[in-house]
Amino acid sequence: MTNMNSTLQHSNTPLLHHSFPIVWTIAGTDPGGGAGIQGDLKTMHALGVHGCSVITAVIAQNTRGVSCIEYPSIEIVEEQLRSLREDLPPAAVKIGVVGRRDVVRAVIRTINDMAAPVVCDPVLSSSGGASFLEPDALNAIRDELLPRMDLLTPNIPEAEILLGHPIHNFSDTEQAAGELLRMGARSVLIKGGHRDGSHSQDFWTDGRQRVWLTSEMMAHTGTHGTGCALSSAVASALALGWPMLDALVIAKAYVYQGIRTAPAIGHGRGPLAHGPWPLHPGDMPWITHTAEEGPPPSSFPSLENEAIGLYPIVDNAKQVDQLAVAGVRMIQIRIKQELNAGVERELRKAITCASERGVRLFVNDHWKIAIEKGAYGVHLGQDDLAPDALKEIREAGLRLGISTHSYSEIARAWAYRPSYIAIGTVYRTPSKVMDYEPLGLDRFRKLCSISPVPVVAIGGLKVENAADVLAAGASGVAVISDLAEAKDLEKRVAEWRKVITDVERVQRPC
């Protein structure tokens, strides 16, 4: 091997300031372009990061299977790692096929002191059974690589190989993930696509949180490279700043989109498609705490095909009446106090007023009063999604809205099939102290696009920024301070309604 160290070290090329994150893939090749390095780079490009690659194995394969594997020298693997580290440090790393113990150790030496999160898809063999490991590599993966992994993403057969025992059912899956955590991985996603059934259910845990991510199973042959795409998508989303559970939801939606739109390529199990950022509501998985919670229950009632539009949030019955007189047709009453006689009295007055005025009134949190007095619906936060409460609300025929601010919270809300989802905060707001940054318009647009039900935007919304939020896909706009502080309420409501009507006219021209 010709050593080019001097060229690399003494280059006069100025340091570039990267405009988007760099993600490494350390893996084997796929000349068919569906999996491995080639599939990883397609995924990374689609999700808006710059992919860099280190080839650990040259694999001859196509859609029918693997015919030959050859491992490059450890020197060239180390040189690839060194050259990237010097010039293109990663915001995240994805590891696939490593093949040999010396490669495992070279990778660990390179990434050990990096802050970048590391995702490992332990590709131990092909779907046809061809082994991707030399005899001494498995123990190196178990003992040396796992303790450096922020996320391990084995399918069930791979988890069985790593653990040395079978996994038969959902309970076994949860126990297996715990065992892999004890072996050193910081979090584990065990993929359930190999199971028979109508749904694909993956289990993730970091030892504190534990959730199941579920999608409907599709009868499609375009599944080659799904494991590579999933792990690369997770690494890409992490590099873009999404938290781990959000990254998993994004990745699962990306893979589902890829299978759904897969082209017919080759004569065997063809590759998934590498499309854009997942924006289709049908690709959204749902999150539950047990596998037995899926498939999901029937949907809560819809909003009767009426546009949501202006959706004020108030804290007393008088405001409900004033807004109804001003022409508002959907309102939420939110009284952030424990239920007492005064709160109950105010809620009853508000529900009665709304009924008399023909207003669709949602009651925040106090669902028992909403059911008893026949409110139109209930709005709940993420911490209030108790199964017993949801069952009673559903049986009473009330609509349900759920607050969210991230992919994982939308996925959790989607498990209950609500009438609408509120997403925010979009902009900074004085009405609520938040422990996270506002989404901003771009992230709100992405979240809004993939929601399977109508979206209410919330947080820092005023007439002046409403058009942008509605154009991003919101069906309704939740407003608190902008109306509460209005000197002329009827005039301000009219201004809101004009903005909403103007946007609707642009979106649905005659």
For residue 18, pLDDT over 70 is answered with no
Q: Are strands 210-216 and 199-205 parallel, antiparallel or unpaired?
A: antiparallel
Rounded mean pLDDT of 421-430? 90
Residue 309 CA: distances (Å) to CA of 111, 319, 330, 413, 498: 50, 18, 8, 21, 11
pLDDT of residue 7: 40
- C-alpha 334/C-alpha 326 separation (Å) is 20
Q: Which helix (H) or strand (E) holds 286?
A: strand 286-288
- pLDDT category at 432 given cuts 50, 70, 90 is low
Q: What are 146's two structure tokens?
A: 């796992």
Rounded mean pLDDT of 194-206? 86
- C-alpha 471/C-alpha 449 separation (Å) is 11
- pLDDT category at 17 given cuts 50, 70, 90 is very low
pLDDT of residue 130: 65
pTM for the model: 0.92
Q: Are strands 286-288 and 309-314 parallel, antiparallel or unpaired?
A: unpaired
pLDDT of residue 16: 43
- C-alpha 42/C-alpha 51 separation (Å) is 8
Tens of pLDDT, residues 61-80: 888 888 889 999 999 999 99
Residue 230 CA: distances (Å) to CA of 119, 155, 227, 256, 429: 10, 11, 5, 10, 35
Rounded mean pLDDT of 104-127? 90
Provide CB contacts within 8 A for 80, sequence distance 6+: 53, 54, 55
Helix-helix angle 317-325:341-357, to 10 degrees: 10
pLDDT of residue 510: 46
Lowest mean pLDDT among 34-48, 217-231, 427-441: 427-441
Tens of pLDDT, residues 254-303: 999 999 998 888 888 888 999 899 999 999 999 999 987 666 778 999 99
- Output the DSSP codes for 444-502: HHHHHHH-SS-EEE-SS--HHHHHHHHHTT-SEEEESHHHHT-SSHHHHHHHHHHHHHH
- C-alpha 436/C-alpha 300 separation (Å) is 29
pLDDT of residue 126: 63
Per DSSP, 35 falls in state S
Helix (H, G, I), strand (E, B) or coil at 197: coil
- C-alpha 121/C-alpha 95 separation (Å) is 6
Rounded mean pLDDT of 37-59? 97
- Is the distance from CB of 411 to CB of 404 less than 8 angstroms? no
Select the more confidently predicted residue: 430 or 206. 206
- pLDDT category at 508 given cuts 50, 70, 90 is low
pLDDT of residue 129: 63
What domains can be seen in the chain, in order of their start residue? 22-293 (3.40.1190.20), 309-507 (3.20.20.70)
Q: What are 89's two structure tokens?
A: 């440090």
Q: Any bridge partners for residue 211, and if so which? A: 204
Mean pLDDT score of the chain? 91
Task: Tell me, rounded to whole angstroms, the distance of Cα 194 from its chain centroid.
Answer: 22
Catalytically active residues, by annotation: 191, 223, 225-228
- pLDDT category at 145 given cuts 50, 70, 90 is very high
Nearest Cα neighbor of 354 from 401, 385, 318, 320 is: 320
pLDDT of residue 98: 94
Nearest Cα neighbor of 401 from 339, 478, 461 is: 478
For residue 5, pLDDT over 60 is answered with no
Strand order across the 188-190 sheet: 65-70, 50-62, 22-28, 92-95, 118-120, 151-152, 188-190, 199-205, 210-216, 286-288
pLDDT of residue 246: 98
pLDDT of residue 3: 53
Provide CB contacts within 8 A for 388, sequence distance 6+: none
| Amino acid in position 241 | G
Q: Any bridge partners for residue 51, and if so which? A: 23
Lowest mean pLDDT among 169-178, 295-304, 471-480: 295-304
- pLDDT category at 11 given cuts 50, 70, 90 is very low
Rounded mean pLDDT of 377-406? 96
pLDDT of residue 147: 94
- C-alpha 495/C-alpha 510 separation (Å) is 22
pLDDT of residue 125: 73
Q: What are 377's two structure tokens?
A: 């619906």
Select the more confidently predicted residue: 232 or 194. 232
- C-alpha 159/C-alpha 122 separation (Å) is 9
Tens of pLDDT, residues 344-361: 999 999 999 999 999 999
For residue 509, pLDDT over 60 is answered with no
Tens of pLDDT, residues 442-468: 999 999 999 999 999 999 999 999 999
